Each structure stands twice: as structure tokens, then as C-alpha cells.
Structure 1
Amino acid sequence: MQRFHDESAPLDSKTRRKLEDQRRMQFRRAIEDRVEQRRLQLEMSDYPELIAANYLLSSKAMHRKSGGKAH
């Protein structure tokens, strides 16, 4: 969670380093998430039939959880 920070107030070096580290880690996590998404998309594109099968299985499971009859 990001806190409000008044840009006009002077920061001590410890606080400034902490804020920089938080920004760096947030950026790093975003990059790692993006890399993982791309890797998964590439893996799934190698097997398009699995995408359809997974969709059908998940839709049947969702239908059963909602109390309806599976087709």
C-alpha cells in the first residue's frame, strides 16, 4: 500500500532509500509478473487444444458448483 507523501517536505536519507527500494521492488515484481504471463501464454499457444479442453472442463465445474446439471 502506498502512503501519501508530501514532495515539498525534506526526507532523511533512510526514508528516501526506503521509498526508492519500495519503488524498485514494485517495478521488479511487475516485470516478473509480465515475464511469467508471457511464458505461460507461449506454453499455452503450443497446445491450443488444451485451451479449449480447459475451458470446457472449467465451465462444467462452474456449472456443477452453481447447482445446475452438467451438459
Structure 2
Amino acid sequence: MARDYDGTYQPSAKARKQQEKDQRRMEYRRAIESYCDQRQLLRDLVDYPELQDLTVWQASVAVSPKNAQPSR
């Protein structure tokens, strides 16, 4: 591991490329999971005809844990 004079980690070019590759892989995986979640939600909504006007975007915002308000 390469350490700078102040003790912080400075990754080598190989380690940096691997980190970027891992990051792209995780972004791709999250996109696939999001797509699968949206499809599952749409399948669930088929049982409720009054909710068919609800768009995927609105539904995903409503159930997204990232958008949940923190409890106080």
C-alpha cells in the first residue's frame, strides 16, 4: 500500500482501476435491482385496477427507502 507523507492512502494505478471497475459493476447491479423492483411493483399493481394510472416513477418514489423521511 502506498502511503503519502501525511499518512493517507494513495492507491496505485492498478488499484485505482480495480476500484473504478468495482464501482461501475455495483452501479450496474443497482440498476438491474431497481429495474427488477419496478417490474415486481407493476406486477403487484395489476391486481388493483384503480392504481393502474400510477406511473413507475411515482411508484418507485413512494416505496424507495432512500426517499423515506427519517423518524424524529
TM-score grouping bracket, smaller chain normalisation: 0.5 to 0.7
Determine the structure 2 residue equivalent to 1:37: 38
Higher relative contact order (CA 8 A, sep 6+): 2
Give 1:49 deviation, angstroms: 2.7
Instruction: Tell me, in whole angstroms, the C-alpha distance in 2 between the residues paired with 1:22 and 1:36.
Output: 21
Q: Give TM-score, length-normalised by structure 1.
A: 0.52
Unaligned runs of 5+ in 2: 1-11, 55-72
Regions of 4+ moved over 3 Å = none
Determine the structure 2 residue equivalent to 1:62: none
Instruction: Tell me, in whole angstroms, the C-alpha distance in 1 between the residues paired with 2:20 and 2:51.
Output: 43
**Residue 18, structure 1, aligned to residue 19, structure 2:** yes
Instruction: Tell me, in whole angstroms, the C-alpha distance in 1 between the residues paired with 2:27 and 2:35.
Output: 12
Q: Could you list the per-position Cα deviations for residues 12-71 of structure 1 after superposition, in whole angstroms to 9, with x for gaps in the alignment?
A: 21001000001000000000000000000000012113446x8xxxxxxxxxxxxxxxxx
Instruction: Tell me, in whole angstroms, the C-alpha distance in 2 between the residues paired with 1:18 and 1:32.
Output: 21
Q: 1 or 2, which has the higher helix percentage? A: 1
**Would you say how many aligned residue pairs link Structure 1 and Structure 2?**
43
Unaligned runs of 5+ in 1: 1-10, 55-71
* Aligned-pair Cα RMSD in Å: 1.9
Q: Greater CA radius of gyration, 1 or 2?
A: 1
Share of identical aligned residues, percent?
42
Q: Give TM-score, length-normalised by structure 2.
A: 0.52
